[in-house]
Amino acid sequence: MWTLPASCFAAPNAPIFLLDTPMRTLSPRGAIAASCLLATAFLMTACVAPRVPMEPAAKTGIHTVRVNPVVQLPEDMYYRGRAEGVAMMLSGPLLGDQVASAVGKDAKAQLVAEMRANHIDLGEIVAAEFARQASAGSAITFVVGSAPADAQVDLTVNVYGIAHAHALGTSLYPIVSLSATMKTPDGKVAWQASHVASAQNVENQEGHALEDYLRDPELLRRAFVTGSDVVSRVMVQDLVSVPKSRPGHLDSSSPGMTNALANR
């Protein structure tokens, strides 16, 4: 069963910052499944670090950031296919996630085995995509490795896996929930944020059937590159943006902002 570590509940009041983006109106069938999807959404966002926005002085004083190549990963993959979605709907929001985990146990084991056999290193993918997007979207240069730098970013993948965008969907999309903490050499946190690339993100286009992932594991690699790319772009938006007066939201009018969190 997929469970959250106790540390995820250490800061229950930690805010989750979102971009102001339009939401897709739920169909009647989607509304039926909404309560179960909300339970899943809680699992995606429970393990988040409190946001620390980057101060203007830090933005001008930090020119090169080292991205720690050692990315912290959860022990278990998250998987929600069509059978799991049906199980969640039938079991309700309280028991649905546990039932879905049991139903998807074999499929998840197959996916993990394929990733290992084909050397699909999620930590390596996440670090590379974050450095690439952060360098392209900000005035700071981000480099993966151990080179001298003005600060270091440590990345933690809170949740990863593949899931349907909706309970009865036909394609499985990558999920990457990511936290980033940037510290200066004296240990001060210069910036910290957490965001999710979910199966509902419209920019998350790498969706395939379970059978396709198992037949061609390179599709898994491409999927996690896409998920890492999507969440990294949202991270960069957080890095360069400033908080709005409305708590829990970011200023989506900042230069370079994109609609990266719009839903299907």
Interval 108-144: pLDDT, tens: 889 999 999 999 999 999 999 999 999 999 999 999 9
Return left, alpha or beta for 67; rule: phi > 0 is left, psi -120 to 50 is alpha, else beta. beta
At 137, phi and psi to the nearest 5? -100, 0
For the residues 137-165, what does the mean pLDDT come to? 93
Which of 175, 168, 188 is closest to 88 using CA atoms? 168
Share of the chain above pLDDT 90, in %: 48
Structural domain boundaries, residue 207:
27-245
The mean-pLDDT minimum among 36-40, 226-230, 255-259 falls in 255-259
Whole-angstrom distance, CA of residue 256 vs CA of residue 248: 20
Tell me whether residue 114 is in a domain.
Answer: yes
**Tokens at 9, concatenated:** 């509940």
Tell me whether residue 21 is in a domain.
Answer: no
What is the H or E stretch that residue 41 is in? Answer: helix 28-45
Tell me whether residue 262 is in a domain.
Answer: no
Tell me whether residue 6 is in a domain.
Answer: no
For the residues 219-242, what does the mean pLDDT come to? 93
- The answer to whether 213 and 223 have CB atoms below 8 angstroms apart is yes
**Tokens at 134, concatenated:** 């952060």
Q: How many domains does the chain have?
A: 1
What is the H or E stretch that residue 219 is in? Answer: helix 218-240
* Residues 6+ away with beta carbon under 8 Å from 39: 88, 93, 94, 96, 97
Instruction: Indicate the average pLDDT of the chain.
Output: 76
pLDDT of residue 160: 95
pLDDT of residue 12: 35
Tell me whether residue 37 is in a domain.
Answer: yes
CA 201, chain centre distance (Å) = 11
Tell me whether residue 9 is in a domain.
Answer: no
Whole-angstrom distance, CA of residue 124 vs CA of residue 21: 30
Q: Is the dihedral of CA 235, 226, 161, 129 positive or negative?
A: negative
* Residues 6+ away with beta carbon under 8 Å from 42: none
Which of 20, 48, 23 is closest to 195 using CA atoms? 48
Tell me whether residue 2 is in a domain.
Answer: no
* Residues 6+ away with beta carbon under 8 Å from 177: 44, 45, 47, 48, 157, 158, 159, 160, 194, 195, 196, 197, 231
Tell me whether residue 1 is in a domain.
Answer: no
For the residues 186-212, what does the mean pLDDT come to? 91
Q: How confident is the model at residue 244 (pLDDT cuts 50, 70, 90)?
A: low
What are the tens digits of pLDDT across the range 66-92?
999 999 999 889 888 765 555 455 455
For the residues 214-237, what does the mean pLDDT come to? 95
Neighbours of 133 (CB within 10 A): 22
